[in-house]
Amino acid sequence: MEFPCRTEKTGLALAMSLLALLAGVTVFLALTGRLATITKALYGIFDSREHLRAYIESWGGWAPAAFMSIQSLQVVVAPVPGEFTGAVGGFIFGVVPSVLYSTVGLGVGSVLAFLAARVIGLPLVRLAVSECMMEKFHFVVESRGTFIALLLFAIPGFPKDILCYLLGLSPMGFVTFVIVCTLGRIPGTVMLSYSGSAVYNENWTLLVIVTVATLITIGIFVLTRERIELWLRRKTGDNAL
């Protein structure tokens, strides 16, 4: 399997430059003793929902901007759990504001990942996406499948952040990507926002309903995952199993 590579040498040079810059900043922070401070502060923010809520609320009127920034960050930097931050949004802001802020934040992060992959190319994507995932979902890169991409964004548990990088290598247009990404993420965003809001309002009945519905949806996907992937491959003309 070969991925499309429009400017491999240029992409490699940009990726190496980016790595060198990140390495230089990391070394500088380490030598000045600030790296440990920053790492400890970030861990303190993300180690629980209460700490994350307190941090976001500490921004006062800028809290929505802080939350949207965190949502953008969790797309570009995969280790930050999107389910975690999505539920916190509902916990802090309520359902409707959380859906709005999450949609904007996730949209910005998704666009950044897509454009980074589009500009730098395969070398950067190899840094963000494991070889196993690239082999498994390479059919996404090789097609324009708008409906397929929309379906993948809507499936619970599917690695949507990785999908943004992969679609950056595909023939999909920028505007199409924005529409597909935005619409596809909405169902999951609504469910997470309802979950967080239910916890804040101690509406345990709603929380149970949302949780059960989510688990059933994820369970169906897990049980039928191989069939879904096979169907997607056939739809994109990829017969490899």
Rounded to whole angstroms, how far apart are CA atoms 104 and 180? 14
- Each residue's pLDDT tens digit, 144-182: 667 778 888 887 777 888 889 889 888 888 998 999 999
What amino acid is encoded at 130 in this protein? S
What is the reported pLDDT for 2? 44
Rounded to whole angstroms, how far apart are CA atoms 50 and 91? 10
Geometric angle at alpha carbon 37, from 33 and 42, rounded to 5° = 145
- Each residue's pLDDT tens digit, 94-130: 889 999 999 999 999 999 999 988 888 887 787 777 7
What is the reported pLDDT for 70? 86
What is the reported pLDDT for 4? 45
- Each residue's pLDDT tens digit, 6-45: 444 555 566 566 667 767 777 776 777 766 776 666 666 6
Residue from 93, 139, 136, 126 nearest 236 by CA: 139
